[in-house]
Structure 1
Amino acid sequence: MDYGTLKTLHVLSSTLLFGTGLGSAFYLWRAARHGDAAQFAFVARQVVLADWLFTATAVVFQPLSGWLLARTAGHPLDAGWLQASYGLYLLAGACWLPVVWLQYRLRDLARDAARLQQPLPARWHRCLRLWFVLGWPAFGAVALIFWLMVNRPGFGA
């Protein structure tokens, strides 16, 4: 595969990773603010599906395409900006995995509350707060990775 095609695919998959994550988070947060358990359960079901269809595939493709890009372009894999991006990617992943689990939990708690026609339980509110808090370091890490990819600062190895 030529460098231009690989770079285009890398950028498109990063757009899916960043865009789907932000878009899904926005819709899930808006549904949570509404407070309707049935509505939230529906939105959460869609967000979980989007995470597996789009975000998960991008999460797998990004390191592979990034490694191929760096290798093809002749960047040393131990360059400081690449080393920093590896760590940030791991940080984003360490936040994303519990976020996915929390989305399942939030969906199930909302579904059960809607079925029983009860308000959303305290556990749902705790899970939502944790989901929200974990999103910020993941967002920041991905934003910094974009900055590193664009600027390739000359620090470290």
Structure 2
Amino acid sequence: MDYLWVKWIHILSSTLLFGTGLGIAFFFWIAHRRGDPKVIAETARTVVIADACFTAPAVIVQFVSGMWLTWRLGIPFSVFWLKTALLLFFVVGACWLPVLWLQARARRLAAEAAALGAPLSAAYRRTMRWWFWLGWPAFLSVMAIFWLMVMKPV
């Protein structure tokens, strides 16, 4: 495959990954802030679908295309910016995988509250606290990865 095509795919998938992640987080947070279990459950349902359709494939494409570009350019993994970007990529994954479970849990807890006409439970609030705090290191790590990819500091 041609280098420029793979580079384009890598950049496009990083844009998709970042934009979808930020959009998902925004809409889910806004639904949560409204406090309506029915709205939260519906939004969480869409968020889970969006993660499966867009975020998960983009993660795979990012890793595969990044590895191919690294191999094609002959960049050793010992280079600071690459080594750090890969470490941060795995930090993002370590935050994102539990977030997937937390989103599904929040969806279930909100749907249960909506079905019962009950307020959101303490378990729901704990779930969303974890979701919120796991989002920050992932978001900041993605920002740092973008910086490393562009600046390539030594």
Whether the TM-score (by the shorter chain) exceeds 0.5 is yes
Instruction: Give distance in 2, aligned partners of 1:69 and 1:119.
Output: 50
In structure 1, the gaps of 5 or more residues are none
What is the count of residue pairs matched by the alignment? 154
Q: Which residue of 2 aligns with 1:100?
A: 100
Alignment-mate amino acid for residue 90 of structure 2: L
Instruction: Give distance in 2, aligned partners of 1:122 and 1:75.
Output: 49
Alignment-mate amino acid for residue 6 of structure 2: L
Alignment-mate amino acid for residue 42 of structure 2: F
Q: Which residue of 1 aligns with 2:124?
A: 124
How many angstroms does 1:23 deviate by? 0.2
Describe the superposition over 1:119-156 as per-residue Cα deviations: whole angstroms up to 9, x where unpaired. 111110111111000000000111111111101111xx
**RMSD across aligned C-alpha pairs, in angstroms?**
0.8
How many angstroms does 1:61 deviate by? 1.2
Alignment-mate amino acid for residue 63 of structure 2: P
Matches within 5 A, 1:1-157: 1-154=1-154
Structure 1 residue matching 2:77: 3-state secondary structure: coil
Identity %: 54
In structure 2, the gaps of 5 or more residues are none
How many angstroms does 1:90 deviate by? 0.8
CA contact (8 A) 1:71 1:77 kept: no
Instruction: Give distance in 1, aligned partners of 2:75 and 2:58.
Output: 22
Alignment-mate amino acid for residue 146 of structure 1: F
Instruction: Give distance in 1, aligned partners of 2:31 and 2:142.
Output: 24
Instruction: Give distance in 1, aligned partners of 2:50 and 2:37.
Output: 20
Any runs of at least 4 consecutive aligned residues in structure 1 with deviations exceeding 4 A, and if so which?
A: none
Instruction: Give distance in 1, aligned partners of 2:126 and 2:76.
Output: 44
Describe the superposition over 1:17-59 as per-residue Cα deviations: whole angstroms up to 9, x where unpaired. 1111100000000000001000110000000000011110011
